[in-house]
Amino acid sequence: MIIRNRKEIRGNKVIWQYLSWDKFFDLLINKELYLSRTSEMTDKNECCISQKNVERIIEYINRIVPNNTLSLSIDDSLKNRSFINCWSMSRNESYALWKIYLSNAKSGVAIKTTVSHLENAIKEGCKNDDIYIMPVHYGSSISIFNLDMDTQPIQKQVDIWRLATKLQAYQYENEVRLICLCRDDSTGKRIKISSLDFIDELYFSPFNRCFDDTYTKVLQKIGGGLEKKVKKSGIDDQ
Q: How confident is the model at residue 31 (pLDDT cuts 50, 70, 90)?
A: very high
For the chain, the 3-state helix, strand and coil shares in percent, each to the nearest 5, are 40, 25, 40
- Overall number of domains in the chain: 1
Asked whether residue 218 is domain-assigned, the answer is yes
Pick 157 or 228 by higher pLDDT: 228
Over residues 182-205, the pLDDT tens digits come to 887 788 999 999 899 999 999 999
Q: Residue 237: inside a domain, yes or no?
A: no
**How crowded is residue 75: how many other Cβ atoms within 10 Å of its Cβ?**
8
Whether residue 236 is contained in a domain is answered as no
In a domain, 238, yes or no: no
For residue 42, tell me if it sits in a domain.
yes
List the domain range (segments joined by +) for residue 126. Answer: 2-231
Most confident among 133-137, 144-148, 207-211, 227-231 (mean pLDDT): 227-231
In 3-state terms, what secondary structure has residue 4? strand
The set of residues, in sequence order, having a beta carbon less than 8 Å from that of 136 and lying 6+ positions away, is 164, 165, 166, 170, 173, 174, 175, 176, 177
Q: What is the pLDDT of residue 202?
A: 98
